[in-house]
Amino acid sequence: MPEDTENLSVLQRNTEMVGNPREHQIIEEYLSKREPVFHDLCELKKQGWASAEGDKVFDERKRKADSVGPEGRQSFFLMTVRIGDEMARRTNVFRFDNQSPLVLDLCMAPGGFTQSVLKRYPDAHVHAITLPPEEGGYPVIANHPNLSIVYADITLYATDFGVTEIPVNHPDPALFSHDRPYQDCRYDLVFCGGAVLRAQPRAEYRKVGEQMRLTVSQLIFAFQRIKPGGTIVLLLRKIEAWDTVRILHTFSKFAAIKLFKPYRAHAIKSTFYLVAQSILPKTQEAVKALEEWKTLWYEWTFGVGGETSSIPAETGSGDGSEVTEILEEYGTRLVELGRPIWKVQANALRNSGFIKSCQDNESCHDQQPVESLES
């Protein structure tokens, strides 16, 4: 597989993380003490961060991803089909109780997951939403008569997210959409595969926290359309990130959850998929989660009280009390879920040329971590 396509999705994204450093620190300390695989991964990442060769490798990958041509796009599409196929083999995510399931694919382009479903279930119907290519989105390659696509920025469905009146001070009220596509459908399976793209032009107030807005937008959209008992697959990064821990803990209250990370594709990155099955969207906990996601979307879009200048820079209580409580209740399960994912990433890092050469070079060990590796 050509290098450029392998990196298209993981590197063509905004890499900023949100969340309180205090929470990150508490989680990392908790996991490092209890799970040797996580501890090893942290050490490997530090070595990678300190490696000038690693920086060069990732810069070169970024450059190639930005200039990818039609062949590269096709290879990337085939890679996403393979990820879908591997997910089908290793989780039972495509096991439906009927031969014509209804599937929603959010942020679907190029459409590998859709293709993977439709080749197994030719009578399935897939509805999709994806960013228009003229706004920087990937072009769609999947093709099937049972596939319908709406081209839109999913983070802008204000009415669907409970906001019919855009705050008066907002710099760009016309941007928001009051459409509610597919609002009457109930889906067996929803993919939420969105990754923020560098090529999407965005106003200044959307420069921070965009991945978070994209994630909660997909969750709200998905949750309002999922069938009771249905499945949501959500692309996430860094199990140990505060926002991720929160999402996993929240889902565990009303769904059966598994995590999936392909053995090869993007193995070196922290990305993985949450596979949440048997979802009960009407339970009290689920209804509460939906309301919280809507509040998050509002605050990260309009700012607290409707002022974009007050868009929060981080999430969480800040004093670490919430994360400590979650870890007490959910920490053991988090470690169980995380172990196989961290193992894949640690092995990939261990086998990467730049870590090997760094291990031969003592000076790497003296340096401080920088964020360039962790996109």
Ligand X SMILES: C[S@@+](CC[C@H](N)C(=O)[O-])C[C@H]1O[C@@H](n2cnc3c(N)ncnc32)[C@H](O)[C@@H]1O
Residues that bind ligand X (CB under 6 A): 9, 80, 107-113, 130-131, 137-138, 153-155, 193-197, 214
* C-beta of residue 354 within 8 angstroms of C-beta of residue 53: yes
Report the alpha-carbon distance of residue 365 to residue 9 in Å, rounded: 30
Tokens representing residue 259 in the block: 């995590």
Q: Is the omega angle on the peptide bond into residue 110 within 30 degrees of 0, that is, cis?
A: yes
CB of 226 to ligand X, least distance (A): 17
Residue with the shortest CB distance to ligand X:
193
Q: Closest distance between ligand X and the C-beta of residue 209, in Å?
A: 13
Q: How far is the CB of 175 from ligand X (least distance, A)?
A: 11
Smallest separation, CB 349 to ligand X (Å)? 21
Q: Are 338 and 35 in contact (CB under 8 A)?
A: yes
Q: How far is the CB of 215 from ligand X (least distance, A)?
A: 11
Of 27 and 126, the one with the shorter C-beta distance to ligand X is: 126
Nearest to 172 by CA among 199, 215, 202: 202
CA trace torsion 132, 273, 159, 153 (10° rounding) = -10
Distant-in-sequence, close-in-space partners of 103: CB < 8 Å, separation ≥ 6: 114, 117, 124, 125, 126, 127, 187, 188, 189, 190, 191
Specify burial of residue 89 (Cβ count, 10 A radius: 0-12, 13-18, 19+).
exposed
Q: Closest CB to ligand X among 112 and 316?
A: 112
Within 13 Å and on the Cβ side, how many CA atoms surround 38? 19
Smallest distance, Å, CB 294 to ligand X? 17
Indicate the residue among 110 and 230 with the shorter CB distance to ligand X.
110
What is the spatial distance between Cα 146 and Cα 99, in angstroms, rounded to a whole number?
13
Report which secondary-structure segment, H or E, holds 212: helix 210-223
Q: How far is the CB of 101 from ligand X (least distance, A)?
A: 17
Minimum Å gap between C-beta 22 and ligand X is 29
Q: Which is nearer to ligand X, 24 or 225 (CB)?
A: 225
Decide whether 148 or 321 has the Cβ nearer to ligand X.
148
Single-letter amino acid code for the residue at 135: E
Residues 6+ apart with CB under 8 A from 181: 127, 129, 150, 152, 157
One-letter amino acid of 149: I
Residue number, 108 or 255, with CB nearest to ligand X: 108
Do residues 199 and 136 lie in contact, with contact meaning Cβ atoms separated by under 8 Å? yes
- Report which of 206, 147, 140, 196 is spatially closest to residue 176, judged by C-alpha positions: 206
| Residue among 154 and 220 whose Cβ is closer to ligand X | 154
Q: How far is the CB of 77 from ligand X (least distance, A)?
A: 7
Residue nearer to ligand X on the CB measure, 158 or 334 = 158
| Comparison of 131 and 279: residue with beta carbon closer to ligand X | 131
